[in-house]
Amino acid sequence: MKSKSLRLFGYVRGAAALLVAFLVALVLIFLSTDEPLVALRYMLLGPAASWSKICRVLAYMIPITFTGLGTCIMFSANQFNLAGEGCISAGGFAGALVAIYCPMPTVLHQIVCILAGALIGGLIMLIPGFLKTKWGVSEMVVSLMLNYIILDVTMQFLTQNFADRSQGATMTFPYKSTAIIPKIFQGEQVSYGIFIAVAMAVLCWFFLYRTRWGYAIRMVGINKEFSQYSGIKVGAIIILCQVVGGILAGMGGVVTQLGYFSQYRWTALTGYGWDGITLAILAANNPIFIPVAAFFVAYLQYGCELMNTWTTVPVEMMDLISVVIFLFFAADQFLSGFRQKLVVRETQKELAEKAAQQARKGGEAHV
Partner 1 sequence: MSNILSSILTTSFAASIIRIMVPILFAALAASITEKAGVVNIGLEGTMSLCALIAVTCAWKSGSTFVGVLGAIVLGILLSLMIGFFAFKFKTDIILCGIAVNTLGEGGAVLLLYLLTGSKGDTQTVMGAWSLPRVTIPVLSKIPVIGEIFFTNQSVLTYVAFLCVILVWILLYKTPLGIRIRAVGENDHAADSVGVGVYKIKYTSLILCGILCGMAGAYMSMSYMTMFSKGMIAGRGFIALAAQAMGRGEPVGVMLSSLLFGFAQALANYVKGTNLPARLVEALPYVVTILGITIYAISTYKRTRKIRAKQEKKAQKKAA
User: Given the complex with partner 1, which of 155 and 236 has the nearer CB atom?
Assistant: 155
Residues 69, 74, 142, 181: which binds partner 1 (CB under 8 A)? 142
User: Given the complex with partner 1, which of 26 and 144 has the nearer CB atom?
Assistant: 144
User: Given the complex with partner 1, which of 115 and 131 has the nearer CB atom?
Assistant: 131
Beta bridge partners of 183: 191
Residues 281, 298, 300, 307: which binds partner 1 (CB under 8 A)? 281
- The H or E element containing residue 204 is helix 193-210
Does 364 interact with partner 1 (rule: CB under 8 A)? no
Does 30 interact with partner 1 (rule: CB under 8 A)? no
User: Given the complex with partner 1, which of 164 and 188 has the nearer CB atom?
Assistant: 164
Does 198 interact with partner 1 (rule: CB under 8 A)? no
- Rounded to 5 degrees, what angle do the CA atoms 268, 111, 98 make? 50
Q: Is 250 exposed, middle or buried (0-12, 13-18, 19+ CB in 10 A)?
A: buried
The amino acid sitting at 9 is F
Q: Is 328 left (phi over 0), alpha (psi -120 to 50) or beta?
A: alpha
Does 12 interact with partner 1 (rule: CB under 8 A)? no
Of 61-69, 137-145, 189-197, 249-257: span binding partner 1 (CB under 8 A): 137-145
**How many other CB atoms sit within 10 Å of the CB of residue 282?**
23
Interaction residues for partner 1, span 287-316 (CB under 8 A) = 314, 316
CB of 74 to partner 1, least distance (A): 12
CA distance 178 to 71: 31
CA distance 264 to 266: 6
Length of the chain: 367
Contact 239, 129 (CB under 8 A): yes
CB of 274 to partner 1, least distance (A): 7
Residue 201's closest CA among 11, 71, 60?
71
User: Given the complex with partner 1, which of 144 and 184 has the nearer CB atom?
Assistant: 144
Interaction residues for partner 1, span 57-86 (CB under 8 A) = 80, 82
User: Given the complex with partner 1, which of 110 and 143 has the nearer CB atom?
Assistant: 143
CB of 252 to partner 1, least distance (A): 19
Does 190 interact with partner 1 (rule: CB under 8 A)? no
Interaction residues for partner 1, span 90-129 (CB under 8 A) = 127
Straight-line distance from the first to the last Cα atom of the chain, in angstroms, rounded to the nearest whole number: 33
Helix (H, G, I), strand (E, B) or coil at 157: helix
C-alpha 198 chain-centroid distance:
12
Residues that bind partner 1 (CB under 8 A): 28, 31-32, 80, 82, 127, 131, 135-138, 140-142, 144-146, 148-149, 152-153, 155-156, 159-160, 274, 277, 281, 314, 316-320, 322-323, 326-328, 330-334
